[in-house]
Amino acid sequence: MVEIDNEFQAESVATNVKLSDPEGDATFLLEVLLHEGVVVEVKEIFKRFVKTLDSESSIVSAVVLEALFMSYAASLPTTSHTVLTELFGGFEARYCPEANIHASICDGNIDEEQVQSVLQSYYATQDRIYGSKMQQKPLPALFSSAEIKLVGLFRGQGAMDNYIEETRAIYTTYGPLVKDFVGQMNEFLGKECADPRVSALYKYGLDVHSWITNPKEELPSTEYLLSVAVSIPVVGLTQLMQIVVLYKTLGIAPGELAASFKGK
């Protein structure tokens, strides 16, 4: 069930959204402070957004609802830069004014799937506003305290039959942060597996980008994915994607991240 009670005022939008959830009805207040000139635009966007909500939605947190609205606005090519900037700025002010978004939402009462949804919405909106420009964020103590010495350790995933799902999850959640890197690496791997010396090992190629963006049913067989020639480069790519996500979400350069690891 979805019930909306809107109060669009001169400088703010206050909206009560009543949604059904597994334990009963929950009502959230979606309140966005805006400059007077963009209230009308936000009102129209919100009317369209409400129509996209599933009648049996299990949204159980205001942060999830607001993140979904923000990313919906970002997905519309007609949404003005001013509206997106204000929605994004308001979201940060409410949920992560000083801390990294990961630390903020992981403290909330939402499950892993909804955490992924919030992060996906957050970085999709950030990308629409700022593009590839690095966003400076306060570093967590783990990377800023002189008393902490970090050690980096690369390890395999062990006997995982579905390791490609981790790759897919990273790309789905942090697409704007890793899409260029994955595109470049996908091209590189495609050329490498076409080398006559090893091409016989790659009956279905190494099109990782296609594997993680198309339906699971279109994946090569598990036997093929678990072969050494395929799993080693793809697992390596997955680990490198994690590194790209780490330094970009911290707002630092790759060299700065490397310099953070000083433990012996």
**Which positions ≥6 away from 144 have C-beta within 8 Å?**
none
Half-sphere exposure of 57 (CA within 13 A, CB side): 23
User: pTM of the prediction?
Assistant: 0.82
Mean pLDDT in residue range 175-188: 96
Residue 51 to residues 3, 74, 145, 168, 190, Cα–Cα distance (Å): 11, 16, 47, 28, 42
Give residue 13's pLDDT. 53
Q: Give tens-digit pLDDT for 97-111.
A: 877 888 888 766 778
The partner residues of 2 in beta bridges, in order of sequence, read 19
Residue that has been written with the tokens 């090992």 in this structure = 201
With cut-offs at 50, 70 and 90, classify the pLDDT of residue 4.
Answer: very low
pLDDT at 19 over 50: no
pLDDT at 129 over 80: yes
Complete DSSP assignment for 141-161: HHHH-TT--B--------S-T
Give the relative orientation of helices 39-50 and 81-95 as an angle to the nearest 10 degrees.
80
With cut-offs at 50, 70 and 90, classify the pLDDT of residue 264.
Answer: low
Give residue 190's pLDDT. 95
pLDDT > 90 in the chain, percent: 40
**Which positions ≥6 away from 68 have C-beta within 8 Å?**
49, 59, 117, 121
